[in-house]
Structure 1
Amino acid sequence: MREKRFNLAHRLIHWAIAFTVLFILLTVFLRIGWMNKDHMGEIIQQNLSKSGTQINTKDAALIGKAVRKPMWRWHVWAGYTMIGLYVLRMGLLAIQGVAYKSPFSKKTSPKDKFKGWIYIVFYTLLAVSLFTGFMVQNGPESLKHNMALVHIQSLYYVVIFIVLHIGGVLIADAGAERGIISKIISGDKAG
């Protein structure tokens, strides 16, 4: 049911997922970059030493971790939001059908098979990311370490998907699917 892919429900969920993923990535990049506990610990140590207070590296890193904790709570809440959006997206796909051609069909072109596989892999890996993130927060202590190891790898596929998705949309808009960008923003006026 490709003609329904630009309806209001599809567009709202698409953009809600897009902005939630970008927000989650922002919190990840802040955590591994500017708000890294060790980096923040160094800043804390340097500024305390100016006033004559000495603190060891481990304690400074713990303070740095405590400072960024409220920001990280937003990551967790965005993850819960993403779970809800994922359920809505899967429900919408079940009701309206998928917006890409089946990569399993022999009639599907290689380009459309590639697009189909990208979405299947993305939604599968997204489910894994959401499950492992949920388990890190709510699962048994014995599983948290392994779940975190898998969850951390989400960063790589999400960035790859974003690049492929934006690149593919720009190519499509410049070629065979002119107007696709405006359709995902304002809807399919031609249909």
Structure 2
Amino acid sequence: MNNYSFKKYQPLSLRVWHWLNALAILGLLGTAFLRKTFLSWRTNSALIENKLQEAGTTITPELAKDIAVSIRTPMWDWHYVLGFTLGGLLLVRVLVGIFAVKKCPATHAAQSAWNLPKVPAGQKANAVHYTLVKTGYALFYLVTVFMVASGLLLYFKTELGISKEALNPVKEIHELMMWFFVAFVVGHIVGIVVAENRHDQGLVSDMIHGGRKE
């Protein structure tokens, strides 16, 4: 096994964290997409108004909005639950890193980049790919920290005495960074497929049973 292979033994704590984290992020993305598409209050409030008008009943735009928001509220409550879950998993990942993996993704990526000039020419391509992936992981954790922190600010804005207007920039960035996770998930899946068909067969199964200890 070369130094730039992703096939390494994965402790049980990291494997459980990985799959729970994946479920939380996919759930968050799903609720965010529903909020912006099928359960958008703008789309549904207009639909409610039009359908009631066709039935010969009038309704104010404000009431139509309230009904549309009420329809999506149960779904959006799951976004909050999953957001708190992601925050808890982030803390768990710190503990896993300290006690099980004993390696910080950010410092590991930096160390790999620092060692690139010393890599033999024959391994340079694998080393660059490995470093880019590890850097992507480090960026993933940094963005996750921001998403959890900004999500908590938005959720507890009233308790913290922060106005909705003051948090508008935070909200906009929070919503924009959702696309980072979309790109990360797609890139992660594509990367696994490529690795499974090249030199790192068994990555998925290793993340289930742990792989072979070195």
TM-score in terms of structure 2 length? 0.80
What amino acid is aligned across from residue 97 of structure 1 in structure 2?
Answer: K
What's the offset of the Cα at 1:99? 8.4
Residue of structure 1 equivalent to 2:102: 97
SS at match of 1:141: coil
1:179 aligned to 2:184?
no
Aligned to 2:3: none
Q: Is the 8 A contact 2:11 2:210 kept in 1?
A: yes
Look up the equivalent residue of 2:110 and give its one-letter code: P
User: Cα deviations across residues 131-155 of structure 1 (Å, max 9, x unaligned)?
Assistant: 0000001133234323212211121
Q: Which residue does 2:119 correspond to in 1?
A: none
Contact 1:41 1:57 in 2 (8 A): yes
TM-superposed deviation, 1:48? 2.0
1:141 to 162, 173, 188: 162
| Pairs aligned (count) | 190
Percent identical pairs in the alignment equals 25
What's the counterpart of residue 73 of structure 2? 69
Aligned counterpart in structure 2 of residue 38 of structure 1, from 30, 36, 42: 42
Check whether the contact 1:27–1:71 (CA below 8 A) recurs between aligned residues. Answer: yes
- Poorly superposed stretches of 4+, deviation over 4 Å: 2-5
Deviates further, 95-104 or 18-27: 95-104
- Is 108-117 or 27-36 further displaced after alignment? 108-117
Rg comparison, structure with higher value:
2
Mind listing any 5+ residue stretches in structure 2 that lack a counterpart? 1-5, 117-126
Paired residues of 1:103 and 1:112 also in contact (CA < 8 A): no
CA contact (8 A) 2:8 2:212 kept: no
Q: Which runs of 5+ in 1 are unaligned?
A: none
Shift of 1:54: 0.9
The one of the two structures with greater contact order (alpha-carbon pairs below 8 A, sep at least 6) is: 2
State the Cα distance separating 1:166 from its structure 2 match. Answer: 1.0
TM-score, scaled relative to structure 1: 0.89
Once the two structures are overlaid, the 10-residue window that deviates more, 180-189 or 100-109, is 100-109
Asked if the contact 2:150/2:170 (under 8 Å) is kept, the reply is yes
Letter in 2 for 1:117: T
Q: Distance in 2 between matches of 1:4 and 1:134?
A: 35
Which deviates more from structure 2 when the two are superposed, residues 173-182 or residues 41-50?
Answer: 41-50
Q: Which residue of 2 aligns with 1:129?
A: 147
Q: Over aligned residue pairs, what C-alpha RMSD do you find?
A: 2.1
* Whole-Å separation in 2 of the counterparts to 1:67 and 1:126: 29
